[in-house]
Amino acid sequence: MESIRILVVEDDPDINRLLCTILKDGGYQCQSAFSGSEGMLWAEREDFDLVLLDLMLPGLTGEEFIQKIRQGRTMPIIVLSAKAGLEDKVNVLRLGADDFIPKPFDNLEVLARVEAQLRRVKKFSAPPAQTKQLVCGDLRLDREEFTVTARGTPVTLTAREFEILALLMEYPKKVFTREQIYQHVWGEDYFGDDNTVNVHISNLRAKLGRASGREYIKTVWGIGFKMAEV
């Protein structure tokens, strides 16, 4: 079986060591980095399947790491931080993180969330049974090449943003509730956390809007979201 490589960016040596132990016990390969700058060097030099990231880091903060890595990489990023307020969580999701675990964390929860993220990536990257290319007006999505263009301009999306867009584009006349989107994209039960879906939709709209100057996703108030009429 192909080994899965995880980058752990955490400046506390004890926590870094603990996370690597949890991951290795779960069968994963682990690479430690003890600053944001060191983590970025590893991420730019080698390929990783997932990143576990602290926020309060020397050199390059966790937020800066996410912004920089999301310019060209789509691997899942799970943030582990003592900055566990709602505003902090929403902020890192907006920047491009896929999940947030507050410190102190439970060892089993960390492993479960890592496994959940990797399952999503595996499912998403498997040869799809659906149409490989989706087109809505001047918006084009290619599942096989993992590309999106709006009015001919390439748009870089995270895996979750890409999957949300693919869902909406595949059924352009259907209105999806937040619960339906969450269960399809996250593959987990929905517990009424509107922030997670709203933040990803907001990021998606912003990226598409910057590329094209138009709105592709319509909010149907009181229900959810659908593709805008072309």
Residue for token digits 């995270």? 158
Q: Which two tokens stand for residue 2?
A: 């192909």
Q: Mind listing the pLDDT tens digit of every residue in the chain (230 residues)?
A: 358 999 999 999 999 999 999 999 999 999 999 999 999 999 988 989 999 999 999 999 999 999 999 887 888 999 998 887 788 888 888 888 999 999 999 999 999 999 988 887 776 555 444 558 899 999 999 988 899 999 999 999 988 899 999 999 998 989 999 988 988 888 776 666 668 889 999 999 999 999 989 899 999 988 899 999 86
The pLDDT tens digits for 179-194 are: 889 888 887 766 666 6
Note the pLDDT tens digit of each residue in 86-105.
888 888 888 889 999 999 99
Answer yes or no: are the C-beta atoms of 76 and 50 closer than 8 Å.
yes
DSSP type of residue 213: S
71 neighbors 96 (Cβ within 8 angstroms): no
CA dist 125 and 141 (Å) reads 14
Task: Please report the domains of the chain, with CATH numbers, ordered by start residue.
Answer: 5-125 (3.40.50.2300), 133-227 (1.10.10.10)
Cα–Cα distances (Å) from 91 to 26, 169, 176, 195, 227, in that order, read 29, 27, 24, 11, 25
Strand residue runs (E) in 5-155:
5-9, 29-33, 50-53, 77-81, 99-102, 133-136, 139-142, 147-150, 153-154
Between CA 53 and CA 57 the distance in angstroms is 9
pTM of this structure: 0.62
Integer Cα distance of 157 and 165 in angstroms: 10
List the structure tokens of 104. Answer: 């102190």
Contact 217, 205 (CB under 8 A): yes
C-alpha dihedral (102, 116, 121, 161), degrees to nearest 10: -50
Cβ-count burial 20-50 (b if 16+ within 10 Å, e if not): bebbeebebebbbbbbbebbbebbeeeebbb
